Amino acid sequence: MEKISIAKAPVFTSPNPMTLICTQKPDGTTNLATLAFWTYASTAPGKIVFSLNKGAYSLELLAASKEVVVAIPGADLCGAVIGCGTSSGRNTNKVEKFGIPMQKIEGTGIEAPASSRLVIHATVSETVDADDHVLHICNVNSVFADESIEAVFAWNGYAELAPAQKK
């Protein structure tokens, strides 16, 4: 085997799951941030975990509200997913800038992209410092799915976004 850096490891685990984490800004609008570092953590009760970099505006929003919607975006949102991962909600309304149609989610004021295969509404229960990131452990409140939407994945690490196919 070849010894590699952890930064290169995602190239070997592609396709990697992609999410948009949706949080509420103080003006009530929804901020979207692209996030790859997430997973299910427990099923009874439902828990998910994700890791947010310390520069992200989403980190500040979550510290205040503790409420998050994690959306698995549809393949038609590839461009928007890059845009939401390379700009900050601190100075940009990403929903408007990238023209992302949104939908209301039952039980929360946070919206999610209309093109979402899966939506998880969760509450942050614990955070753990992880050096350049903060790990968030969340209790799942509700989950919604739409089988007709094809999910987007990251390929070649995070270099390309496209659907996944069985070989």
Ligand X SMILES: Cc1cc2nc3c(=O)[nH]c(=O)nc-3n(C[C@H](O)[C@H](O)[C@H](O)COP(=O)(O)O)c2cc1C
**34 lies in the binding site for ligand X (CB under 6 A):** yes
- Written as six digits, the tokens of 126 are 């614990």
- Considering the rule CB under 6 A, would residue 155 count as an interface residue with ligand X? no
Which is nearest to 164 in space by CA: 56, 60, 46, 13? 13
In which residue are the tokens 């949102």 written? Answer: 77
- Check residue 112 and report its DSSP letter: E
Q: Give least dist CB 142 to ligand X, A.
A: 23
Binding to ligand X by CB under 6 A, coded x per residue (else -) over 119-148, reads --------------x---------------
Sheet holding 46-53, edge to edge: 30-35, 19-24, 67-73, 116-130, 133-145, 46-53, 38-43
Asked whether 54 and 70 are in contact (CB, 8 A), the reply is no
Q: Using CB under 6 A, count the residues that bind ligand X.
A: 22
For ligand X, the closer of residues 2 and 96 by Cβ is 96
From 50-58, 63-71, 104-112, 143-151, span contacting ligand X (CB under 6 A): 50-58
Q: How far is the CB of 71 from ligand X (least distance, A)?
A: 13
Distance (Å, whole) CA 114 – CA 5: 37
25, 76, 85, 135: which one contacts ligand X (CB under 6 A)? 85
d(CA 35, CA 141): 20
Determine which residue in the list 89, 113, 117, 140 makes contact with ligand X, applying CB under 6 A: 89
Q: How far apart are CA 49 and CA 138, in angstroms?
A: 6
31 is an interface residue for ligand X by CB under 6 A: yes
Among 14, 17, 29, 36, binds ligand X (CB under 6 A): 36
Can you give the binding site for ligand X, defined by CB under 6 A?
31, 33-37, 51-53, 56-58, 82, 85-90, 133, 154, 158
